[in-house]
Amino acid sequence: MKKPIPIIALTVLLLSAVLSACRAESSESSSNNEELVKWAEMIVSVGTIQSSFSCPGIITAPEEAFRTCSLPCREPEEKAVRNLYGRVFNPGETIFSDLKAVDHEKLVQITFKDQQAVLTLLNVDRLQVPVKIPYKQLRDINYLTEVTVSFEGKSLPASIESIGYQIDAKQIDVILGTTGAELLPGNEVTAEFILGERENCMFALKEAIGRDPDGSAFVYVQLSDGEYVRQNIVCGEEFTMQENGHEWTFIEILSGIRDGSRIRFQIAADDPSAYLYEEFFN
């Protein structure tokens, strides 16, 4: 089963992009040139596009997120206490006997000794995700940047708590705050930073758009008889998505073609990312 790119998967729902690769068949190209390029196609649709990038992270919890409580517990009561393991309690909710939750607390550890139950509670609203982002992305984020954390197919809200100031290996440290009853320290997650969004616009991959020397843009669009002809277009903003080290750049198309148009373009046959076109857009 092919593994989809989460960011692209969101776009495909609105984009309906379909790419297919085949060898170039231009009568004007020599056989050598045919081996250097492939044709790709996509359907241009109106939808919503996001500019974003993502990076891996691991859930952590600061020391102050934990609370340890001790309460009397006779042997007949041990079973009832053990059954509480893993539960998340709301603020003010009774945990056991006179013990009440202070925050959204998850019971993560129980030990028994000398008729005492020692409970370790984790405030699931105080979880953190340290991540390293490329230094070049530092100019694109601030403390108000929208961030989400993905874990086992679920998207959870997050926020930026700290942005570092020291560069290491062209990366910089950022600490995110997040919340999730299903999360525990050590869980591997993916953090996504949303840099911008445009709704109800038509867009295409940057590779699909040609440029004349004067900067004017064009595409090769399919006619009803299946032939492709050059069509001038007017472009808007660029939106770049980054996933697992690969960047996808889309360009907004303001005019020149219609919603649902199929366009054709060439990609280098030896492009190391060429397989991604086929895997994620077919």
In a domain, 1, yes or no: no
In a domain, 67, yes or no: yes
- 119 and 130 together in one domain: no
Residue 144 pLDDT grade (very low, low, confident, very high; cuts 50, 70, 90):
very high
Cα Rg of the chain (Å, integer): 26
* Residue at which a domain ends, from 100, 123, 146: 123
Residues in the chain: 282
In a domain, 15, yes or no: yes
In a domain, 96, yes or no: yes
Asked whether 95 and 84 are in contact (CB, 8 A), the reply is yes
Asked whether 176 and 158 are in contact (CB, 8 A), the reply is yes
Residue 43 pLDDT grade (very low, low, confident, very high; cuts 50, 70, 90):
confident
* Residue at which a domain ends, from 195, 215, 241: 195
pTM: 0.64
Show the DSSP H helices in 52-102 as ranges.
78-82
Average pLDDT, the chain: 82
- 91 and 19 together in one domain: no
Judged by DSSP in three states, 25 sits in coil
- 201 and 277 together in one domain: yes
* Residue at which a domain ends, from 102, 123, 144: 123
Structural domains counted in the chain: 3
- 185 and 212 together in one domain: no
pLDDT in tens, 109-120: 999 988 899 999
**What are the angstrom distances between the C-alpha of 204 and each of 19, 223, 244, 276?**
11, 18, 21, 16
Rounded distance between C-alpha atoms, residue 107 and residue 100, angstroms: 12
